[in-house]
Structure 1
Amino acid sequence: MVQVTYPAVSITIRTADDIDRALSRAARAVGRGARLVEWRLDELAEIPGSTNAAVELVARSPAPSIATCRSRAEGGEYDGDDSTREALYERLVLADKPPRYIDIDLAYWKRSETLRKTITAALAHCGDDPKASLMLSTHDFERRPADLLQRVEAMSNEPACSVIKIAWQARSLRDNLEALDLVADRTKPAVVLCMGEFGLMSRVLAAKSGALLTYASVGAGAETAPGQPTIDDLLGRYRFEKIGPATAVYGVIGWPVAHSLGPVIHNAGFEKIGYDGVYLPMPIPPQFEHFKATVGSLVDHGTLTFRGASVTAPHKENLVRFVAESGGRVGDLARRLGAANTLVIDNAGRIECTNTDAPAILASLCGAMGIAPPQLRDVPIAVLGAGGVARAVIGAVADAGANVVVFNRTRPRADVLAGELRECRDAAGRPFRVSAGDLDSIADGTFRIFVNCTSVGMAGGPAPHASPLPEAVTLDESVIVFDTVYAPARTRLLDQAEAAGARSIGGLDMFLRQAALQFRAWTGRDVPMEAFRESITGRIDADPDPT
C-alpha cells in the first residue's frame, strides 16, 4: 500500500486573542490544499488558564491537527514548568475533539517519568481506537546530530509512539538524501526533514520515500522552522500532490540560486505536458569539491531518480570537469568552450552535459537586432565577465565571426579566458578572434555591442542595483547593450543604456530559449513557450527577488 504524504501547515498561537485569526488562516490554507494543521502552543501555554483556549482551538481546527508545545531547549518558546505542559497534553488527549497527534520532544519524554505515565495512561484511556496518537520528535538546529541513529532507534522502540519525527539543520544537499533514506527504512510512520536553505529537497520530496507528512507555512514570514516553503509554493510551484516514488527530480545548481526562475518555468512546463517531474533549487558552494561530492551523490542515489539539472554560476566550468572525470559525455560545444549549463542523466545512469546558453544567446541577440548570425562577422563586441556565461556568449558570437574583447574585474581571469578561447575554431576552421582588455580602458574602444555576463544587477546578487559598465563609456543609438541578467527584467545597466539612446536587450528571452532547449533534452518534448511565459508574467517586476 502506497503511503499518502500529507501537506501540513504550522501556525504559532501566542495568545487567546490570536485564535480566531489563526483559524481563518488555517481555513484558507486547508482551502488551498493543506490536509493537517500543526498548532504551536509554546507561548499560549505560558499564560495562566490558557488550557481551555488550547482545547477550543483544536476542537475548531478546520482539519485534523497536531498539537505541540516546545521549550526553548527544544527550539521553541515555552518557558514554563513541566507540570503545566503535562497537564496541557493530557487535557488535549482526553478532549472530546482531540488533535490527531500530540508532538512531544524525545529528550523531554525520556527525562520525565511523570510525562510518560500521564500520556501513556491518557492514550490507553481512549481505548483500542484512540482519537489521538503520540508523535515523538527530535530536532537539532545546528547540524546533523552525531547520535541521530540512536535517537531514531529510541523513538522506534517506544511502545507509546505512533509516529517518529526528525529534523536537523542541513549543511549540504547531501543531508536530504539521508533524510529520504531514513524514511524509506522506517519501522513506524515517519517524518524526516532537513532545515535551512539546503533542506527544501527533503520537504518537497517527502512523498518519494513515503513520509507521513511535510510542513509548510501559511505564508511568507510565517515560518515556524528554517526553510519551510509556503503552502502555495509547496502545492503550486512544486506540485507536491503529484510527486510519488517514480517522480524524476531536476533542479538548478548554483550559488546563489534563490533568484532563479527555473523552478517556476520548468515545473509549469511539466504541468503543461503532464510530465512526472519536479524541479528544485539546489544550492552548492562554489568549490569544485563541493560540486563533485554533491552532484555525484545525487546521481548515484538509488531512489532519488535524479535526471538532470540546469547549472548556473559559478559551476558551469565545474560541470564540464565533473562529467569528463566521471566518464560521461561532454557535448562538442561544451567541450570547446569549457563550460556547460545542462546536465542530463538517462535511465541507465549515464551522464551528459551540453551548452544551451550559446545557441540561445545567438538566437536572442540576432533576433533582437533583426539580423542573421553571419552578419555578426567583424562586429566589435565587449564582453564583461569571465565566467561560464561569458564563455557561452563568446563562443556564440566568435563562432559567427565577431571580434571579441573580454573585460573582467580581475584582468588575469580575462587573459586566461581569452587565451583558452583563441584555441577554438569556428565552423569554417578559423580561430576565434578573442582578446582581453583592462576594464579601466573599456571606454577607449569602439564597440558596437556590450554584453554583461556578470552578476552585477542581479536580484539576490552582490550588487543588485549597480551597473557593470563604467559611466565613462559612451553609449548612443549606434550601440547595443545586452544584459544576460533576467531577474529583475529592468536592470540598472538597461536603464543606463536606454537613457543614452542605445538599444537594450534584456536576458529574459535568452533565459527562456536556453530553458526550452534544456526541457527538450530532459523530456524529449518541446514545451509550449507560452506556458513558460505565462508562469512568470508579472513575477519578475513584482518580486525583486523572484524564486
Structure 2
Amino acid sequence: MSNVICLYCLQCVVYTKFKGASKKKTRKEQFFTRNLLATSRSLPRAITWGRPYKICGNPVILSEKAFNRSGMMGRYRKASPREPQTTILRFCSCFGLWRVLYILAMQTKLAVPIAAKNLEQAARQIKAARAAGADMLELRVDYLEGLSGEMVEQLIAGIRDAEEKTLPLIVTCRDARQGGAIAYPVELRIAVLKAALKARAEFIDFEYENFRKIENQEKIRLALSRTSRSRLILSAHNFETKFRDAGRLYRDILSISPTAIPKLVYTANHIDDCFDALDLLHHTSGHRIVFCMGEGGLISRILAKKLGSFLTFASVEKEHATAPGQLTIEQLRSLYRYDTIRPNTQLFGVIADPVGHSLSPAIHNACFADKGLNCLYLPLLVQGGQREFDTFLNHTLLRKWLHFGGFSVTIPHKHNALAYVRSKRGRVEPLASKIGAANTLLVGPDGILIASNTDYAGALDAITKRMKITRGDLNEMPVAVVGAGGVARALVAGLSDAGAKITIYNRTVEKAEKLAAEFNCEYTGLDDLPGLDANLLINCTSIGMHPNTKATPVPAELLKKTMAVFDTVYNPARTLLIKEARNKKAKAIDGVSMFVNQAMAQFKLFTHTDGSAKLMRKTVVDNLKRARARSQNSRSLTKDKKTGDAGT
C-alpha cells in the first residue's frame, strides 16, 4: 500500500495494487475495472488505484510506469512519507471495503442554478439557495446583463466573503444555441470562464460541440493548467428529442478530455425516452451528469442519486427553474425523500396520464418515511394507449436494477394494466377480473406480475364507516350511481356483490346500458335524475373536480336529509356536491375517504405492513390546501398584473 497526491485537491490518496491482471480477474478487480477505468482502453498488467477523499473525488488509476509519466489520468505525484494518510482509508483497504467507500464518495450533489439579470438578484437567489440546503451552486452567468470577466470575479468574491461554509461553484456561460439566455460571443464566454477559474471556481461548464474546435480547446486547456483545483464539465444538450447514441457521445467526450465530467441532457418526449439516460448511468461510473428535461423526464432527475450521477439540478422556486421539468429543492427533499435515496432503494409509482395532480406520491412517501422503509414512490407519466403502456412496463421490468416492486394504476390505464398482466400470464385476482380493471400491479420475487383492484374495498369501507352499517346492510338498499366509467365500474361491482339495488345514471345511455347488463342492474339517462329515489347517491364522474369546483353532477334540490351522498372526487376534499349535502343535513362521504382507503390497501400489498390512515388523510388535506393557496395566489397575481396594465 502506498500514497499518491491528487493535485486537483492536494489531498493524500491511498492506493493498492492488483497484480496479475492478465489472468482471470476476481470480482473485486472486475468491479474496479468496470467502474474506475472508464477512460482507458486496456487494463495494464498491474494497476494501482485509489480515491481522493475530500474535494475533487477523481479516480486514481495509474500503471507501474505512470509515476514517471506526465499528464496520465490527471495530475498526480508521489506522496512523501510525512504527508497525511487517513485512518478510514487504511481501514477500508485492509478490510476490503473499497466498494462502500466508492459509493459514499459518489454521493449525488444537489445543485441549484442561479439565473439572475444582475448581481443584486444573484445575491438574493444565492442566499435562498443556501437556506434551502443546496450542496452546490451553478452560476448561470449567461443570464447576467452587461456580462464581463470582472463581473464574474466580483460575483464569486461576494459569495466567498458571505459564506460560512464553502459551497462548490459551477460557472456556466451557455451558448444560446444550447439554451443560453443571452447570445454572448464565444470569445467573451471563454474569457468569463477564465475569470471564473482565476476566482477559484471549482467547476466550469462548456459545450462539447464548441470544445471540439481547436482554438477554443487550447484556450480552455491553458486556463485549466494554471489552476490545481478546478475541473471542466463538457456538456451536450438536445432540446428537441433524445440523442441518437448517448453512449457514443459519452465516450467521445471522455476521449477528447479524459479528466472532464461529461454532461448529457436531452428532452424526453415520452417517459420511455428516459431509459437511455438511466442505462448510461447504470453502465458507467465516475463523475458524469445525465438526465432528461420535460415532464416525461422527471424520473431521471429523481433517480440521478440512485444511479450515482455527479449531480442533479433543483431550483429554489418554480419560477426560477432554468430547464423544463426542473423540480424545486423542497419537492426533491420533502416529497421525494431525496436524502434517503440509495442504490438499493425499492421503487414504486403511479402510472397515469395526466399524473402531475396525483397525491399518491405524497401519501405513499410520507408513509415510507413514517415506517422507516427504504422505498420511493414516483409519478410515472405514461402517455398513449395499450401499446405505450406495454412498452413502458417491458422497459421497466427488464431493468431489474431499478428495483421496481409495484405500481398504482389510474386513468386511463386500468384496463391496459389488466390486459398486460394477462398477456404476460401473470396472476389476476378474481375481483380485478370481475371489475375488468386493475389499479394495482405487484412484481413478485419471481418476476411474475399480480393484478388487483383496491378501489372496490376502498369505496365500500368509506360508505359503511360513514353510514355506520355493515356490508350486509347494503343488501336491497336503493343506490343511485352517476357515471359509467372505471370508478363507477368498481363501485357497481362491489355494491352488486353486496346485493344493493343499483340504478346507473349516465349522459351516454348506451354506456350505462352496457355496464348495467354486466352487473344485472337498472340504468337510465341523466334527464331522469329528478325522479331518483335512493338511500345512497354516488357521484362517479369528474364533475366538481379542480379546477371546475363550481360544478355539481346533481342539483341541490334533489338531495334529501335521509340520503347518504358519496362524491368520489377528492380534489377538492369538499366539493360543491358535498357542501350542498351537508347543508341538507345528509350524510356526506368525501372522496378523500375512498382515496385513503384504497391507498392503505395498496400500501399493505406493496410493503406487507399497515400504513397510517391518519397520516395519509392529513397529507392529502394539507397538499390540497397548499395547492388551493397557490392557485389563489396565482389568480391574484394575474389580476394585479391585468389591473396594472390597464392603469398604464
**What corresponds to 1:404 in structure 2?**
502
Matches within 5 A, 1:134-283: 134-159=232-257, 161-186=259-284, 188-283=286-381
Are 1:51 and 2:135 matched, yes or no? no
Give how far 1:325 is off. 1.2
Give how far 1:240 is off. 1.2
Distance between the aligned counterparts of 1:499 and 1:11, measured in 2? Answer: 51
For residue 437 of structure 1, the aligned residue among 521, 524, 533 is: 524
Are 1:25 and 2:123 matched, yes or no? no
Distance between the aligned counterparts of 1:43 and 1:352, measured in 2? Answer: 51
Task: Give 1:385's aligned amino acid.
Answer: G
Are 1:70 and 2:174 matched, yes or no? yes
Give how far 1:454 is off. 2.0
Give how far 1:448 is off. 2.5
**What corresponds to 1:425 in structure 2?**
none
Q: Residues 513 and 264 (structure 1 numbering): CA distance in 2 closer, same or farther, change over 3 Å?
A: same
The worse-fitting range, judged by mean Cα deviation, of 10-19 and 303-312 is: 10-19
SS in 2 for 1:210: coil
Task: Give 1:53's aligned amino acid.
Answer: Q
Q: Residues 57 and 435 (structure 1 numbering): CA distance in 2 closer, same or farther, change over 3 Å?
A: farther
Could you report, residue by residue, the CA deviation over 1:313-368 in whole angstroms, capped at 9, with x for unpaired residues? 12212211111111110111101111121111122211101111111111110110
Give how far 1:219 is off. 2.1
Q: Residues 124 and 161 (structure 1 numbering): CA distance in 2 closer, same or farther, change over 3 Å?
A: same
Distance between the aligned counterparts of 2:220 and 2:455, measured in 1? Answer: 60
Task: Give 2:139's aligned amino acid.
Answer: W
Do 1:258 and 1:546's aligned partners in 2 also have CA atoms closer than 8 Å?
Answer: no
**What corresponds to 2:204 in structure 1?**
102
Could you report, residue by residue, the CA deviation over 1:476-500 in whole angstroms, capped at 9, with x for unpaired residues? 2122221111121111222233344
For residue 6 of structure 1, the aligned residue among 100, 109, 113 is: 109
Distance between the aligned counterparts of 1:239 and 1:247, measured in 2? Answer: 11
Task: Give 1:297's aligned amino acid.
Answer: H
Distance between the aligned counterparts of 1:386 and 1:167, measured in 2? Answer: 43
Distance between the aligned counterparts of 2:511 and 2:293, measured in 1? Answer: 37
Task: Give 1:117's aligned amino acid.
Answer: E
For residue 513 of structure 1, the aligned residue among 597, 601, 611 is: 597
TM-score by length of 1: 0.91
Are 1:116 and 2:220 matched, yes or no? no
Unaligned runs of 5+ in 1: 423-432
Q: Residues 297 and 386 (structure 1 numbering): CA distance in 2 closer, same or farther, change over 3 Å?
A: farther
Do 2:556 and 2:581's aligned partners in 1 also have CA atoms closer than 8 Å?
Answer: no
Distance between the aligned counterparts of 2:605 and 2:482, measured in 1? Answer: 29
Q: Residues 159 and 220 (structure 1 numbering): CA distance in 2 closer, same or farther, change over 3 Å?
A: closer
**What corresponds to 1:427 in structure 2?**
none
SS in 1 for 2:250: helix
Distance between the aligned counterparts of 1:291 and 1:417, measured in 2? Answer: 25
Are 1:16 and 2:116 matched, yes or no? no
Task: Give 1:23's aligned amino acid.
Answer: I
Distance between the aligned counterparts of 2:494 and 2:594, measured in 1? Answer: 12
Between the two proteins, the alignment pairs up a number of residues equal to: 524
Do 2:306 and 2:344's aligned partners in 1 also have CA atoms closer than 8 Å?
Answer: yes
**What corresponds to 1:529 in structure 2?**
613
Give how far 1:58 is off. 5.3
Distance between the aligned counterparts of 1:306 and 1:156, measured in 2? Answer: 31
Do 1:134 and 1:160's aligned partners in 2 also have CA atoms closer than 8 Å?
Answer: no
Distance between the aligned counterparts of 1:497 and 1:464, measured in 2? Answer: 18
Give how far 1:37 is off. 1.3
Give how far 1:45 is off. 5.8
Do 1:340 and 1:388's aligned partners in 2 also have CA atoms closer than 8 Å?
Answer: no
Do 2:153 and 2:196's aligned partners in 1 also have CA atoms closer than 8 Å?
Answer: no
Distance between the aligned counterparts of 2:234 and 2:443, measured in 1? Answer: 38
Distance between the aligned counterparts of 1:261 and 1:142, measured in 2? Answer: 30
Do 1:136 and 1:161's aligned partners in 2 also have CA atoms closer than 8 Å?
Answer: no
Could you report, residue by residue, the CA deviation over 1:51-106 in whole angstroms, capped at 9, with x for unpaired residues? 333433553565112111113211121222221111100111122xx222111122
Task: Give 2:521's aligned amino acid.
Answer: V
Matches within 5 A, 1:366-445: 366-420=464-518, 422=519, 433-445=520-532
Distance between the aligned counterparts of 2:270 and 2:552, measured in 1? Answer: 32
Task: Give 2:197's aligned amino acid.
Answer: V
Distance between the aligned counterparts of 2:269 and 2:393, measured in 1? Answer: 15
Are 1:312 and 2:410 matched, yes or no? yes
Distance between the aligned counterparts of 2:252 and 2:204, measured in 1? Answer: 18
**What corresponds to 2:558 in structure 1?**
474
Give how far 1:24 is off. 1.1
Could you report, residue by residue, the CA deviation over 1:423-444 in whole angstroms, capped at 9, with x for unpaired residues? xxxxxxxxxx423221222222
**What corresponds to 2:184 in structure 1?**
80
Matches within 5 A, 1:323-334: 323-334=421-432
Distance between the aligned counterparts of 1:353 and 1:546, measured in 2? Answer: 37
Do 1:13 and 1:43's aligned partners in 2 also have CA atoms closer than 8 Å?
Answer: yes
SS in 2 for 1:538: helix
Do 1:46 and 1:79's aligned partners in 2 also have CA atoms closer than 8 Å?
Answer: no
Could you report, residue by residue, the CA deviation over 1:378-423 in whole angstroms, capped at 9, with x for unpaired residues? 2222222222211111112111111112233333322222223x2x
**What corresponds to 1:447 in structure 2?**
534
SS in 1 for 2:212: helix
Give how far 1:501 is off. 4.0
Do 1:383 and 1:390's aligned partners in 2 also have CA atoms closer than 8 Å?
Answer: yes
Unaligned runs of 5+ in 2: 1-101, 632-648
Task: Give 2:107's aligned amino acid.
Answer: V
Distance between the aligned counterparts of 2:417 and 2:251, measured in 1? Answer: 39
SS in 2 for 1:451: strand
Do 1:407 and 1:437's aligned partners in 2 also have CA atoms closer than 8 Å?
Answer: yes
Moved over 4 A (4+): none
The higher radius of gyration belongs to 2
Distance between the aligned counterparts of 1:46 and 1:418, measured in 2? Answer: 70
Give how far 1:472 is off. 7.8
Are 1:285 and 2:383 matched, yes or no? yes
Are 1:38 and 2:176 matched, yes or no? no
Q: Residues 161 and 545 (structure 1 numbering): CA distance in 2 closer, same or farther, change over 3 Å?
A: farther
**What corresponds to 1:93 in structure 2?**
197
User: More relative contact order in 1 or in 2 (CA 8 Å, sep 6+)?
Assistant: 1
Identical residues among aligned pairs (%): 34
SS in 1 for 2:451: strand
Are 1:490 and 2:574 matched, yes or no? yes
Distance between the aligned counterparts of 1:228 and 1:80, measured in 2? Answer: 24
Distance between the aligned counterparts of 2:180 and 2:482, measured in 1? Answer: 48
